[in-house]
Amino acid sequence: MAELLPVPEVAAGATEVVVAEWLVKVGDEFAAGDLIAVIETEKAVVEMEAEKGATLLRALVAPGSTVDVGAPMALLGSADELTEDLDAVLAELGVTGAGTAEPVAAVPATASATEAASQGPSAGTTDAAPGSRTFISPIARKLLREAGLSPDGVTGTGPHGRIRRRDVEHLVAAAASQAPAAPATPAAPTAPSVPSVPSVPSTPTAPSAPAAAAVTGWTDVEHTRLRRAIARRLTQSKQEIPHFYVKRTAVLDELLALRARLNDAAPTKISVNDFLIRAVAVAHTRVPDANVIWTDDALRHFDGVDISVAIASARGLVTPVLRGVEKSSLSAISAQVKTYVEQADAGRLQQQDLEGGSISISNLGMYGVEEFSAIINPPQSAILAVGAGRPTPVVVGDEVTVRTAVQLVLSVDHRAIDGALAAQWMDALVTAIENPLSLVV
């Protein structure tokens, strides 16, 4: 019997999503667990799995459309029902309205919803060989649609030729530079002259003020869904979480020497940030009372150490979570971070990649930032801000020597962690960083 497929709540608290792409077309039969659609949330792209086997009788949502969570997105049933009056079936199920039940075939990722509706079956075709598929990220598809451009001729620089945001931005910029200049506005006709009338001499007036300088122009760039999500979450964090801050300095010389030796021998190059992620896991293991988050009903203690890592991707700031870091080697941490960076740039992070953990790490040292305080990523209870390692005078015994030091600032949720506990945790962190052999065992 035919039934409606509702839009799932793929992210906690989400009220709407974008159906970015259909992976099956009308008439296709699929099994439970098969991928049938790609859904874009505010922070991730989720591949939707079928809960049970069925046949797609009709897609009710065109690719690129924004749909409320819980709204019907497709009509499912058996292959025998394809010959039935589907409009009548939809009416019985309460789906009405002009255009709502129009059949939508699976549209390639390179075609926008508007192109699919206006150009017919040939929309989105490329010069690729028959049966080939051009991959394009949802944000790139959205930018093409807003600019009224076609993906034909766009050279993707992502994996397997995937068209990314920067590729579309270059195309839009090139199109703008080639646009013809607007015609000049005709000058207003000059008013006829009026004969002057003699007047009584008067006191000379002060010279008139110079004309006001031209106002500097600007360009409004519409907020992306990701940017809105970041703004909402961080505003909520500063309003609801009582932040306090703990600062320490850590000496990096032994860590840098060990890293150099490991990178000379290991095929996978390990970064300083990989060491710091591992050091945070060690600190959480040594001070387990800090591995918590605040909930409305209880203080939640975690058994394992999951750590979020801030990544400035092409789509915006994301914080995917590394799982079980207390059991992970430095090379495993490095490999996972690199994978997350690639997925973030391509817009292929899954929602589950962004959920969990009790602490985040934000490292701006590669930009030369010496010190900063970060905003906690809710519902986590802390975030560690890492500055640049710099030569610094350090007192060793009775002598002053120069060492490479880094400034660390821990932002803490005072509801979950008190000052003394945060100080103990920072001491455990600095001890691990300054004794890096503890990070490789």
Coil, strand or helix at 12:
coil
* C-beta neighbour count of 242 within 10 angstroms: 11
Reading the block at residue 209, the tokens are 């003020």
Q: Are strands 307-309 and 321-322 parallel, antiparallel or unpaired?
A: antiparallel
Q: Please, which residues have CB within 8 angstroms of residue 381's CB and are 6 or more apart in sequence?
A: 290, 292, 293, 294, 358, 359, 412, 413, 415, 416, 417
Verify whether residue 414 is a known catalytic residue. Answer: yes
* C-beta neighbour count of 228 within 10 angstroms: 12
In angstroms, the CA 385 to CA 250 distance is 13
In angstroms, the CA 70 to CA 47 distance is 17
CB neighbour burial string for 244-278, b if at least 16 within 10 angstroms, e if fewer:
eebeeebbbbebeebbeebeeeeeeebbbbbbbbb
In angstroms, the CA 280 to CA 286 distance is 10
Angle, CA 138 vertex, CA 103 and CA 362 arms, to 5°: 150
Of residues 160, 223, 301, 414, which has the active-site annotation? Answer: 414
Residues annotated catalytic, as ranges: 414
